[in-house]
């Protein structure tokens, strides 16, 4: 059974950093992309980042709201993905979700399995 | 960047009803569209991909249609378990984006 699970959330002061982890099981992790989404309080889901499989070059993609501050990475040997969040702002407060990205083209990805999310609170 | 607009933002219907949620893209996305169901405190769930392909394990009461810029999600024979917020998402190009969500309730 495919399973992804986020961890590493917590409370952090503005300007500080936090790293989230996404643990995956039940599939060939190296063959898939991993996407990160978030949901701020009272808001809808927002896609923020994706790390491609090395099969398709491994290049990351970012939403404008996090580009330059957040970095995605992956450790295929441990079936882990990471979201490094720097220069955090109060508006980054949200539940953060990771998901498996499925593709048949290597260029277009939808999320077919999601975790339950981890809460990040940015507050002084 | 492509913007996704869903309507309505909220919807209330009776058990057994057929409901339709629409999603419009700001430009053509062919059929690169997915629909998700999200219940509070739970993991979002993929319902439909490639605009009309039903994800494995999803009841056939759910169906998707459309291409280009206009899409719809239909739920036949509405059940109490369908109470959730529904999102469309384009994956035509980066950045990907989602609609603002449609909250579905039972009357």
For position A107, what pLDDT does the model report? 84
For position B41, what pLDDT does the model report? 92
Q: Could you tell me which residues are beta bridge partners of residue A71? A: A84
Residue A46 pLDDT greater than 90, yes or no: yes
Q: Which residues of chain A does B89 touch, with a Cβ-Cβ cutoff of 8 Å?
A: 45, 47, 110-111
pLDDT tens, B12-63?
Answer: 999 999 999 999 999 999 999 999 999 999 999 999 999 999 999 999 999 9
pLDDT tens, A51-97?
Answer: 999 988 888 999 999 999 999 999 999 999 999 999 999 999 999 99
Angle (nearest 5°) at CA B2 between B101 and A21? 65
CB-based contact A114 B96, cutoff 8 Å: no
Instruction: Determine the distance in angstroms separating the CA of A51 from the nearest CA of chain B, rounded to an integer.
Output: 12
Instruction: Determine the distance in angstroms separating the CA of A63 from the nearest CA of chain B, rounded to an integer.
Output: 6
The residues of A whose Cβ lies within 8 A of any Cβ of B are 35, 37, 44-47, 50, 61-64, 97, 99, 102, 108-117
Residue A109 neighbours by CB distance under 10 Å? 28
CB-based contact B89 A112, cutoff 8 Å: no
Residue B75 pLDDT greater than 90, yes or no: yes
Pick from A8, A97, A93: nearest CA to A47: A97
Instruction: Determine the distance in angstroms separating the CA of B68 from the nearest CA of chain A, rounded to an integer.
Output: 16
For position B36, what pLDDT does the model report? 98
Q: Which residue in B has a C-alpha nearest to residue A44's C-alpha?
A: B100
Residue B103 pLDDT greater than 90, yes or no: yes
What is the pairing mode between strands A33-39 and A94-102? antiparallel
Residues whose CB falls within 8 Å of the CB of residue A12, separated by 6 or more in sequence, listed in order: A18, A88, A120, A121, A122
Q: Quick one: what percent of chain A has pLDDT higher than 90?
A: 92
| Confidence tier at A106 by pLDDT (50, 70, 90) | confident
A&B contacts, CB < 8 Å: 63
For position A105, what pLDDT does the model report? 81
């Amino acid at each position: 059974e495919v399973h992804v699970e986020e961890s590493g959330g917590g409370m952090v002061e503005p300007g500080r950093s936090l790293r989230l982890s996404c643990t995956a099981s039940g599939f060939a992790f190296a063959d898939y992309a991993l996407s990160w989404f978030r949901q701020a309080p009272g808001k809808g889901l927002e896609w923020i980042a994706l790390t491609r499989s090395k099969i398709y070059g491994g290049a990351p993609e970012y939403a404008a709201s996090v580009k330059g501050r957040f970095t995605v990475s992956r450790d295929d040997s441990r079936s882990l993905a990471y979201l490094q969040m720097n220069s955090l702002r109060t508006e980054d407060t949200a539940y953060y979700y990771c998901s498996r990205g499925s593709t048949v083209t290597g260029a277009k990805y939808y999320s077919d399995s999601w975790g339950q999310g981890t809460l990040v609170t940015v507050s002084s | 960047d492509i913007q996704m607009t869903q309507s309505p933002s909220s919807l209330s219907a009776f058990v057994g009803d057929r409901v339709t949620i629409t999603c419009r893209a700001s430009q053509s996305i062919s059929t690169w569209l997915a629909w998700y169901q999200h219940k509070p405190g739970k993991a979002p769930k993929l319902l439909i991909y490639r605009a009309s392909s039903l994800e494995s394990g999803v009841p056939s009461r759910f169906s998707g249609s459309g291409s280009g810029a206009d899409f719809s999600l239909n739920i036949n024979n509405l059940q109490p378990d369908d109470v959730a917020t529904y999102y469309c998402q384009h994956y035509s190009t980066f950045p990907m984006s989602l609609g603002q969500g449609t909250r579905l309730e039972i009357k």
